[in-house]
Amino acid sequence: MLNDPQPLFDQFVSKARGYVESPGVMAALELDGLCEKLYPMVARKWEDQTLANLIRDFGRGLPRKTDEELRVLLEEILSLAGERGLYSSAAVG
């Protein structure tokens, strides 16, 4: 997992979806920590600064953005990741 961001990205997708459906303080803290680990890996290993920035913004937005704003940001992340071949809605529940 240290060399491959994919498992961490898949975990992010699952937790982010759960959060936008049912936000909570503990879930936000856990998701923020996950984003902090994931976005530098995406930038370094996948060489995708745009996707990395979106993931970073999602984590930073947890305490400030509304559920709908986060949902839109998550969809943007998933769309971009799908375009890059890094995410398939069939692969992640």
Q: Rounded distance, CA 65 to CA 87, Å?
A: 24
Q: What is the pTM of this model?
A: 0.90
pLDDT digits (tens, 9 = 90+) for 25-37: 999 999 999 999 9
SS3 readout for the chain: CCCCHHHHHHHHHHHHHHHHHCCCHHHHHHHHHHHHHHHHHHHHHCCCHHHHHHHHHHHHHCCCCCHHHHHHHHHHHHHHHHHCCCCCCCCCC
State the pLDDT confidence band at 63, using cuts at 50, 70 and 90.
Answer: confident
Given a cut of 70, is residue 1 above it in pLDDT?
no
How far lies 76's CA from each of 1, 2, 25, 46, 87, in Å?
24, 25, 23, 17, 12
Task: With beta carbons less than 8 A apart as the criterion, state whether 58 and 73 touch.
Answer: yes
